[in-house]
Amino acid sequence: MHLAEPHDQASGLRRMFTAGAAFRSVGVMGPDARATARATLLLARGLARQGDRVLVLDEASPPHNVGGQLGMVPPRDLSDLPRMGLDAAVRPVGEELALLSARDGIAVLATLDERDLRALTEYMAPLAPEWMLFNAARTGGGLAATADLRILVLPGSRAHLAEAYAVLKTAHAAREQGVWLVLVEGVEADGARRLHAALAQTAEHFLGFEPLYLGCLDGARRGAAEDAGQDLAETLAGMPLQDTSDFAQAWQRMWLFSRMHTARAYGTPDPASAFVLSGNKDNKVKREQRRHPHP
């Protein structure tokens, strides 16, 4: 894979990603980090080959993440974006595709105040991708859970069903809205459908919904896998899913999710989140509440 040289990145990003309103957010997650990263990259490349602009937020840790699949370690990540800008943090990867390392993305966003968030959304505005794919951390509880569509990458063995269900349950508990799909990795179609049926039955019994079957990646040679990824991308693009109308709105949702997640983790209320949810627009009050939280 050819990577753009640093001096090409600014013009390259702005050529690839022009302003646009609608896009879809997709969280890709599963118990096997390598399989999940592979599936994320294949889907991203498949969508990019169709001419769609794609941004991958890579939440997983190296080496088993999308950066590792590409043989690269981005020097900057999400935490650098508010102060250093788009060109420093986002790496072009081929045509119509860019990568943003977002390891510990929840913790990073939770530290931002509203001024930082505005700066971040302003820097991200030139991207305006048609697809934003999250390569989730192994637990499934990161920013990927905020996506409108979530894909569970199920390794092709019954031994992994319990682990895969645990990832699905964690992400569903974090945010119940959205559509679930299952992509089975490492087996052919018949075996994949049997594994999907077993997982769907468990999810329906305990969680009250059945994730849909997206397809399978049978572990064939690279060329065949790329073709399969493009077929899956076409299936994904053809689904009647609702677009998110505002790219900045997605970042605001992720920020609020990170603040609420952090508050739950520490067992204390988050005044900033409470004011946002209540619709209070008084930024001064919000700042004072953060400085002097109620006991």
Q: Is residue 2 part of a domain?
A: no
pLDDT at residue 172, rounded to an integer: 93
Q: How far apart are CA 102 and CA 87, in angstroms?
A: 15
Q: Is residue 5 part of a domain?
A: no
Confidence of residue 47 (pLDDT cuts 50, 70, 90): very high
Of the given ranges (35-39, 151-155, 173-177), which has the lowest mean pLDDT? Answer: 173-177
- Cα of 217 vs its chain's centroid, Å: 20
Domain count, the chain: 1
What does the pLDDT look like over 56-100, one tens digit per residue?
999 999 999 999 999 998 888 988 877 777 778 889 998 899 999
Q: Token digits for 124?
A: 């991200």
Q: Is residue 7 part of a domain?
A: no
In terms of residue numbers, what domain contains 72? 13-291
Q: Is residue 83 part of a domain?
A: yes
Mean pLDDT (whole number) for 100-120: 88
- Work out whether strand 90-92 and strand 24-29 pair parallel, antiparallel, or are unpaired: unpaired
Of the given ranges (14-18, 110-114, 135-139, 162-166), which has the lowest mean pLDDT? Answer: 14-18
Q: Is residue 158 part of a domain?
A: yes
pLDDT at residue 266, rounded to an integer: 62
pLDDT at residue 26, rounded to an integer: 94
Q: Is residue 92 part of a domain?
A: yes
Q: Is residue 3 part of a domain?
A: no
Q: Is residue 91 part of a domain?
A: yes
What does the pLDDT look like over 186-217, one tens digit per residue?
899 999 999 999 999 999 999 999 999 999 98
> What's 122's domain CATH number?
3.40.50.300
The single-letter code of the amino acid at 122 is: E
Strands annotated E in the chain = 24-29, 54-58, 90-92, 97-101, 131-135, 149-155, 179-185, 212-217
286 with 280: CB under 8 angstroms? yes
Closest CA to 108 of 289, 244, 257: 257
Confidence of residue 272 (pLDDT cuts 50, 70, 90): very low
